[in-house]
């Protein structure tokens, strides 16, 4: 379960996992790293990918899950979270570009919505509290794009989980949970992380407003239960 950069993968040329690395790397370059006609905004699908590739800041690992329980998979993902947080970075610019792609070639397409999504949903609060994002990608992912509800940006040729640092533009993802308790947890972590270094005053105000609304919703639900 070693991590490889794109340059290291190109030098491998062989091995059981080499085809998985190449397939995902090509997807990163040709889908995430390029514009798409259905994206709904100008620019590439993932704005961080071009610089991440140029700076060799993406690292990929193949995780074989045969005979593993979901709890074991969760522990492996948490282990990579710790590695991600403890990596030394010499240039601040590269910090934002850093990403881990954890590839799960043993997960069948029909199992991906259950295993990959459940691991992501269970661990995301832990990641958000650490100032990180954990994204789930697979062929059956139905999550829509922020700028086009008919676009599916989280579909990958092999199931994977992506780890990256949280950025200010992630506010819509902090506001998305229907559960107000979870929304409060995400928004509090978001404000704690960016509270003293917001570059967009509007996002700062919107985050506080969303947090206040979530707390009001919880308060209203509690009053209904009391009655």
pLDDT, tens digit, for every residue of 192-225? 999 788 888 899 899 999 999 999 999 888 776 6
Burial class (CB in 10 A: 0-12, 13-18, 19+), 150: exposed
* pLDDT above 80 for 138: yes
pLDDT of residue 210: 95
Backbone angles phi, psi at 182, to 5 degrees: -70, -40
pLDDT of residue 97: 87
Ordered by start, the domain boundaries in the chain are 6-166, 180-226
Average pLDDT along the chain = 91
Question: For 147-189, how does the pLDDT look when each residue is reduced to its tens digit (9 = 90+)?
Answer: 999 999 999 999 999 999 999 999 999 999 999 999 999 999 9
Q: pLDDT tier at 42 (50, 70, 90 boundaries)?
A: very high
pTM as predicted: 0.92
* pLDDT above 90 for 1: no
The continuous run of DSSP H or E covering 212 comes out as helix 201-226
Higher per-residue confidence, 91 vs 5: 5
pLDDT of residue 94: 64
pLDDT of residue 224: 64
* pLDDT above 60 for 227: no
pLDDT of residue 91: 56
Question: For 43-78, how does the pLDDT look when each residue is reduced to its tens digit (9 = 90+)?
Answer: 999 998 999 999 999 999 999 998 899 999 999 999
| Helix boundaries (H) for 55-136 | 70-86, 92-97, 112-129
Torsion, Cα 108 110 116 117, to 10 degrees, reads 170
Region 92-110: mean pLDDT is 87
* pLDDT above 60 for 7: yes
* pLDDT above 70 for 137: yes
Q: What b/e readout covers 20-34, taking b as 16+ CB neighbours within 10 angstroms? A: bbeebbebbeebbbe
């Amino acid at each position: 379960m070693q991590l490889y950069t794109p340059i290291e993968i190109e030098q491998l040329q062989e091995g059981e996992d080499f085809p998985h690395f190449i397939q995902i790397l090509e997807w990163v370059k040709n889908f995430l790293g390029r514009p798409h006609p259905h994206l709904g905004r100008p620019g590439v699908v993932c704005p961080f990918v071009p610089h991440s590739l140029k700076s060799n800041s993406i690292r990929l690992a193949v995780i074989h899950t045969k005979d593993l329980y979901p709890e074991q998979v969760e522990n492996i993902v948490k282990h990579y979270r710790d590695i991600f947080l403890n990596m030394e970075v010499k240039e601040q610019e590269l910090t934002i570009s850093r990403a881990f792609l954890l590839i799960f070639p043993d997960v069948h397409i029909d199992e991906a919505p259950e295993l990959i999504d459940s691991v992501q949903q269970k661990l995301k609060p832990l990641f958000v509290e650490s100032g990180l994002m954990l994204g789930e990608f697979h062929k059956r992912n139905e999550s829509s794009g922020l700028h086009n509800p008919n676009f599916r940006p989280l579909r990958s040729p092999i199931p994977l989980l992506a780890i990256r640092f949280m950025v200010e533009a992630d506010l819509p993802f902090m506001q998305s949970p229907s559960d107000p308790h979870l929304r409060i947890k995400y928004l509090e972590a978001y404000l704690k992380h960016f509270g003293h270094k917001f570059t967009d005053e509007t996002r700062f105000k919107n985050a506080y407003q969303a947090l206040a609304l979530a707390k009001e919703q919880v308060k209203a639900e509690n009053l209904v239960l009391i009655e």
